[in-house]
Amino acid sequence: PAMDECLSLYDFEAVAKSVLPTAAWAYYSSGADDEITMRENRNAYQRIWFRPAILRNVESIDFSSTILGHKTTLPIYITATALGKLGHPEGEKNLTWAGAEQGIIQMIPTLASCSFDEIVDAAKPGQVQFMQLYVNKDREITRKIVQHAEKRGIKGLFITVDAPQLGRREKDMRQKFADEGSNVQRTQGESVDKSQGAARAISSFIDPSLSWKDIPWFKSITKMPIILKGVQRWEDAVLAAEQGLAGVVLSNHGGRQLDFARSGIEILEEVMRELRRRDLLKNGFEVYIDGGVRRAGDVLKAIALGATAVGIGRPFLYAYSAYGHEGVIRAIQILKDEFEMNMRLIGAPTLKDVTPDMIDTTALGHR
Ligand code: FNR
């Protein structure tokens, strides 16, 4: 189908499924074990309803925002997804170009198919990029990666903390890994077992001994704001704030790690309550969520509960697998159209007006 016929983020998924090689589709679309958490990431949004306010003058709508102090046209960033060239020859650069065109921030994955410098070089002057970090058993490699990123102007370091071991994504494991074009093994100094799917092949360098004791070391090697990606309960969000980190991403890795982990939107309410109760939001600590975000309405629910922004993963991968960077631009434009309509209909002219009273969370069943 023609790109113009894509009306929602779901449409790109259907096109991607029809055009992607089996192994690429398996790697992108899979979740861990029974994929309960992956489905729950969508389902949880269906337990939150809107309480629209009427007669609020919604003639002009403004959904621009900031993330870590950097301007964004939407409270959305492109989260890190590995192995971009499985979907399209230009890989992650599709996301860079679309982010530039549409004014949204890209998080560069450690396990990108394009080299890190290629992705930074693809950015236009002043374009903001973040970096996602998998921590290597060899800390010297990690130190070099982090300091190089800072030197190249990266504005935030997102350390992934939900993957001391990669989850079992059986769809992916049934495929053999043959991404010879990828540079990821080289940069991590790895030899690779290609017999158990893409995820396993590229991840054996990740250090499962990583702990809270390592946080001061990260702070000593970089001035970039540090955010933990993959926090799954309020206790850990509190610890992160107490350690003086810049924020957390409430995430279960798109359902690709621990099955039966709760979704980011599900735990957001308790995380915000406990941070507020301890007065830990006062230094600009920011909370993001990702997983299953497919509609502007999902994002507005997260904003109402106190999130600063949300990450979107698979839909952008699917969009460029189907149509290159133009597809990603189209996907972002669709989200902008949805934002305008949803904010009008809930009675919120700006994101500051998207307050807790705008939603009904009774069905979440929290106290
Ligand atoms: C990911 N994600 C991920 N996260 C991370 O920290 N490092 C990584 O290398 C990857 N790689 C990756 C590959 C693919 C194919 C997917 C789908 C996801 C997780 C990602 O950052 C994010 O948490 C989820 O993708 C969010 O869920 P949705 O938007 O895909 O539903």
Query: Atom 19 (ligand 1): residue with closest C-alpha?
Result: 253
Q: What percent of the chain has pLDDT over 70?
A: 95
Assess whether pLDDT exceeds 60 at residue 161. Answer: yes
**Dihedrals phi, psi of 322, to nearest 5 degrees:** -85, -45
Q: How far is CA 150 from the centre of its chain?
A: 20
Distance 255 CA to ligand 1 centre (A): 9
| Paired sense of beta strands 226-231 and 247-250, if any | parallel
Assess whether pLDDT exceeds 80 at residue 264. Answer: yes
Distance 81 CA to ligand 1 centre (A): 5
Mean pLDDT of the chain: 94
ipTM over 0.90: yes
Q: Are 189 and 87 a contacting pair, CB within 8 Å?
A: no
Tell me what the mean pLDDT of segment 89-93 comes to: 98
d(CA 317, CA 62): 27
d(CA 315, CA 161): 23
Which position has the higher pLDDT, 203 or 141? 141
Is residue 253 lining ligand 1, measured as CB closer than 6 Å? yes
Q: Cite the beta strand spans of the chain per DSSP E.
A: 49-50, 65-67, 70-72, 76-78, 105-108, 129-133, 157-160, 226-231, 247-250, 286-290, 309-312, 359-360
Assess whether pLDDT exceeds 90 at residue 184. Answer: no
pLDDT, residue 179, reads: 57
Count CA atoms closer than 13 A to 280's CA, side-chain side. Answer: 24
Q: Are 258 and 252 a contacting pair, CB within 8 Å?
A: yes
d(CA 207, CA 141): 12
Note the pLDDT tens digit of each residue in 319-364: 999 999 999 999 999 999 999 999 999 999 999 999 999 999 999 9
Tell me what the mean pLDDT of segment 138-142 comes to: 96
Using a 10 angstrom Cβ sphere, with 0-12 exposed, 13-18 middle and 19 or more buried, the burial of residue 267 is buried
Tell me what the mean pLDDT of segment 127-144 comes to: 97
Q: Are 72 and 309 a contacting pair, CB within 8 Å?
A: yes
The residue to mutate among 79, 132, 179, having the most atoms of ligand 1 within 8 angstroms of its beta carbon, is 79
Closest atom of ligand 1 to CA, residue 251: 23
Length of the chain: 367
Residue that has been written with the tokens 């950097």 in this structure: 70
Is residue 292 lining ligand 1, measured as CB closer than 6 Å? yes
The amino acid at residue 97 is W
Q: Are 78 and 104 a contacting pair, CB within 8 Å?
A: yes
Is residue 251 lining ligand 1, measured as CB closer than 6 Å? yes
pLDDT, residue 185, reads: 57
Note the pLDDT tens digit of each residue in 197-229: 777 777 889 999 999 999 999 999 999 999 999
Note the pLDDT tens digit of each residue in 266-300: 999 999 999 999 999 999 999 999 999 999 999 99
204-217: b (≥16 Cβ within 10 Å) or e: ebbeeebeeeebee
Q: Please give the positions annotated as active site.
A: 134, 162, 253
pLDDT, residue 203, reads: 82
Note the pLDDT tens digit of each residue in 301-325: 999 999 999 999 999 999 999 999 9
d(CA 347, CA 172): 44
Is residue 40 lining ligand 1, measured as CB closer than 6 Å? no
Compute the C-alpha angle 210/215/220, nearest 5°. Answer: 125
The amino acid at residue 257 is Q
Assess whether pLDDT exceeds 60 at residue 181. Answer: no
- Residue 244: CB atoms within 10 Å: 12
Question: How far is CA 155 from each of CA 67, 158, 190, 217, 303, rounded to the nearest angstrom?
Answer: 10, 10, 27, 18, 22
Nearest CA to 42 out of 250, 253, 254 is that of 254
